[in-house]
Amino acid sequence: MNIGIIGLGLMGGSIAKALKKYNIAKKVYGYAHNEKTKKQITELALVDDLLSIEELKEKSDVIILAIPVDSIIKMMPLLEGISKNTTIIDMGSTKEIITKNIPVSIRENFVAAHPMTGNEKNGPSAAMHELYEGKTIVFCDLEKNTNIHVNKAFKIFQAIGMRIIVMDAKEHDVHACFMSHLPHLISFSLANTVMSKEDPKSIIALAAGGFKDMSRIAKSSPDMWTDIFRQNKENLLESIDMFELHMKKVKKMLESDDYDELKDWMKKANTLHEIL
């Protein structure tokens, strides 16, 4: 089958590389609107050809949307009029608002998905063929799709080495908030806490593994994450409230020199890795 990819940064570029590595697609097409990005895509040979949206709709059996969550919603009307056999797969980090905005005419074609992978890098040069291997992809609200589209989506992501989980969009957004969105917000907060000190360079000079691990994702795109935080606002606010309760609890234990309770609190946190 021919597969078209809209957005060839880290996520889309990595899909393109994986499709070629495993010989899944007859042709891999791409779309980009920025001339600098087009040049990079061509130099890296990420796709067989760059097409217009209309050409992509005509030539692709599957269209993958690897663009920011707000851009996915804006792209939807442009995809109306596709063949009933053409599958659309979005890879947005939020799902409920996206699924609510899918036009009726392409609802059966549109498979809502979220690959649980990524890093802080962006752009075509960040693409890597192994990004998806051994990772999980979540498919949402599949009862709204016809089998032909679900089967194609499963076939593609299983072939590039992903594990499949199915859940409804609302449930996904709650889980993604705790596993991805809140950690990103905490990382941005940690970075800004250090930057607010009078001499942040002196602090960073002492940075070891713990700080680097926690602050790494603060290098992620503010544009992309503003959209994600906006779309998952309610769940994010609830998770912040829960996080703040734990911070207040820790603060109280420190103020009262209750280190036995603090140790028990940390031991409870250790048990998380028994289920990861």
Residue with the two structure tokens 């040979």: 45
What pLDDT is stored for residue 119 in this prediction?
Answer: 87
Domain 172-274 fold is 6-phosphogluconate dehydrogenase C-terminal fold (1.10.3660)
The band of 197, judged by pLDDT with boundaries at 50, 70 and 90, is confident
66 contacts 35 by C-beta, under 8 angstroms:
no
Q: Residue 198 above 80 pLDDT?
A: no
pLDDT in tens, 61-94: 999 999 999 999 999 999 999 999 999 999 999 9
Q: Residue 21 above 90 pLDDT?
A: yes
What pLDDT is stored for residue 101 in this prediction?
Answer: 98
Per-residue pLDDT, averaged over 196-222, amounts to 77
Q: Residue 201 above 90 pLDDT?
A: no
What pLDDT is stored for residue 212 in this prediction?
Answer: 78
pLDDT in tens, 160-191: 999 999 999 999 999 999 999 999 999 999 98
How much is the pTM? 0.90
Strand 110-116 versus strand 136-140 pairing type: antiparallel
Which architecture characterizes domain 2-167 according to CATH?
Answer: 3-Layer(aba) Sandwich (3.40)
What pLDDT is stored for residue 48 in this prediction?
Answer: 97
DSSP 130: T
Per-residue pLDDT, averaged over 125-151, amounts to 97
Q: What mean pLDDT value characterizes the chain?
A: 94
Q: CA-based angle 216:220:223, to the nearest 5? A: 160
DSSP 93: S
Domain boundaries, given as residue ranges, for the chain: 2-167, 172-274
Positive or negative, the CA dihedral 41, 45, 48, 49 is positive
Q: Residue 37 above 70 pLDDT?
A: yes
* Same fold across 2-167 and 172-274: no
pLDDT in tens, 96-137: 999 999 999 999 999 999 999 988 888 999 999 999 999 999
